[in-house]
Amino acid sequence: MPARLRILADGYGLSSRDRSELPGVIEQATAVCRAFVAARVADGDPGYLQALAERGGWERWDRMQTWLAEGRETFTAALLS
């Protein structure tokens, strides 16, 4: 993942400041997406209920958010190297 993240940042020509902020932005975007899905699930949207059930449920979201937070220093270092 760090190498792919660096390719993404290089491709967009991100500044050092933007690169240092990118891992946190990705975490924020993931949290926003989760909140959106949670709202759809709470409304009983059958498509979101099915997708959530088929794709690992909330446990998958929790693992993803934990992985992003735990990897933030590694990702930032890769982006700034």
How do the domains of the chain map onto residue ranges?
Answer: 2-80
pLDDT at 1: 78
- Residues in the chain predicted with pLDDT less than 70, given as ranges, are none
pLDDT of residue 2: 86
Per-residue DSSP letter, 55: T
Nearest CA to 41 out of 52, 30, 56 is that of 52
CA distance 1 to 63: 15
Give the predicted TM-score (pTM) of the model. Answer: 0.85
Residue 23 is predicted with a pLDDT of 96
The tens digit of pLDDT for each residue in 47-68 reads 999 999 999 999 999 999 999 9
